[in-house]
Amino acid sequence: MVYLDNSATTRVRPEVLEEIIDVNLNCYGNPSSLHRMGLMAEKKVEEARKSVAKLLNATPQEIYFTGCGTESNNIAIFGILSDLREKNNIITTKIEHPSVYNVFKELEKKCQVKYLDTDNKGKINLAQLEEMIDENTKLVSLAHVNNEIGVIQDLDNIARVIKSKNRNTKLHVDGVQSYGKLKIDVKKVPIDTMAFSSHKIHGPKGVGGLYVRAGLKLNSLIFGGGQEGGLRSGTENTPGIVGFGKACELIFENFEEENERLYKLRNEYIKRLKEIEDIKFNSLTDEEGAPHIINLSFKNVPGEVLVHYLEGKNIFVSTGSACSSKARDNRILDAIKISKDYEGTIRISLGYFNNFEEVDYVIENIKQSVNEIRLITNRRR
């Protein structure tokens, strides 16, 4: 089996599983309890918080645990906009993940929402961003790495433009696809909040993270026992949090080597995919593209059909975001103006367990599947 859908979710690393099992067996107290078992669990949570913070060069006090990346995005956006007024405006892009895009669509009922355009590879225009920001702009929210096409937005210059135009405008970053894969230093870039998720970096599902810059007060959406500094009440998912922390430790230990390996593996796939006729890369194929995402379209090959052909050969790719896979249209591909002739779009996304030995098998089966599908579709015309 070759699993190439790591942007949807990742296989948990064995070292992470060991930690999760150990906590469930030996450290199962409630972190809020005052007895020894509770204090042991609390200590495990705080150790994990330190590991999660290290990947951003943040302080542990700036890290809050949530249930997923979607929840982190929602807490940050609604927390920043708790005193939203009709005269205010907020800015995002047309290619955001549904956990941001659909929030902004909902907020259209309360204020002016401005949508940044992108070029045909998904990059925003900094001049347009500068034009859109005024004295009433409360928030700019965008993804560091797009989950479908892998474009990397220039956070340094985006933050510079925002803060120079209106220092009170907050910058929220959806970092779900960049956390643990790209270097991010919140001491150097004035990001106000950033969302990320455990299951995208070979940790367990059901755990997310939110960075909140020291001094920024977010209003809570969830009220209860006051856990996570009162921002996200509810008994902590200790095994999940500890697993998340372990996944972060493993990444931190070999960050540069793994990042370089992923880029090399991505580039090998790109080189071999170019052997196929009538294809179009929708993702950037240089350093401005993420190390783990390749998005491409095939002429006269329906995407869903190709996914199922490859599944029959034990190769697992996707047509795009798992969170919007049931949708009939793809607004991200529409935004970057993909020709309707190239309807067969797939996303190959790489992770820790992928290797160079898989490439030949994958490419040969993509070639064979594409040729078979084209024969069928040409007969029907």
Q: Which of 27, 111, 248, 323 is catalytic?
A: 323
**Does residue 323 have an active-site annotation?**
yes
- Is 311 strand, coil or helix? helix
pLDDT for 329: 52
Amino acid at 209: G
- Distance between CA atoms of residues 209 and 147, nearest Å: 17
- Whether residue 325 is found in the same domain as residue 200: no
Q: Helix 36-54 and helix 238-253: axis angle, to 10°?
A: 40
Per-residue DSSP letter, 116:
E
**CATH code, domain with 243:** 3.40.640.10
- Whether residue 209 is found in the same domain as residue 123: yes
Choosing from 207, 224, 253, the residue where a domain stops is 253
- Distance between CA atoms of residues 30 and 42, nearest Å: 8
Residue 304's φ and ψ, nearest 5 degrees, are: -65, -40
- Whether residue 269 is found in the same domain as residue 348: yes
pLDDT tens digits, residue range 299-344? 989 999 999 999 999 999 998 655 444 444 578 888 887 777 787 8
- Distance between CA atoms of residues 41 and 27, nearest Å: 6
pLDDT for 180: 97
* Residue found by looking up tokens 């969302």 in the block: 195
- Distance between CA atoms of residues 223 and 216, nearest Å: 19
Choosing from 235, 253, 271, the residue where a domain stops is 253
Q: CA dihedral in degrees (334, 340, 344, 346; nearest 10)?
A: -20
Count Cα neighbours of 155 within 13 Å in the Cβ-side half-sphere: 26
Range of the domain at 321: 2-9+255-379
Which secondary structure element, helix H or strand E, spans residue 2, and what is its range? Answer: strand 2-3
**CATH code, domain with 333:** 3.90.1150.10
- Distance between CA atoms of residues 11 and 359, nearest Å: 19
- Distance between CA atoms of residues 267 and 38, nearest Å: 48
Among residues 262, 347, 363, which one has the least CA distance to residue 313? Answer: 363
Residue 377's φ and ψ, nearest 5 degrees, are: -65, -35
- Whether residue 202 is found in the same domain as residue 287: no
- Whether residue 229 is found in the same domain as residue 279: no
- Whether residue 174 is found in the same domain as residue 197: yes
Q: Using only C-alpha atoms, what is the Rg of the chain?
A: 21
- Whether residue 233 is found in the same domain as residue 368: no
Number of domains in the chain: 2
Q: Is 1 exposed, middle or buried (0-12, 13-18, 19+ CB in 10 A)?
A: exposed
Task: Indicate left, alpha or beta for 215 from its phi (over 0: left) and psi (-120 to 50: alpha).
Answer: left
Choosing from 234, 253, 272, the residue where a domain stops is 253
- Whether residue 161 is found in the same domain as residue 264: no
- Whether residue 72 is found in the same domain as residue 142: yes
Residue 71 CB neighbour total at 10 angstroms: 18
- Whether residue 86 is found in the same domain as residue 207: yes
pLDDT for 73: 98
Assigned token pair, 22: 């150990």
- Distance between CA atoms of residues 149 and 67, nearest Å: 25
- Whether residue 68 is found in the same domain as residue 143: yes
pLDDT tens digits, residue range 234-287? 989 999 999 999 999 999 999 999 999 999 999 999 999 999 999 999 999 998
- Whether residue 192 is found in the same domain as residue 333: no
Assigned token pair, 64: 């809050």
pLDDT for 88: 95
Positions in the chain whose pLDDT score sits under 50: 323-328
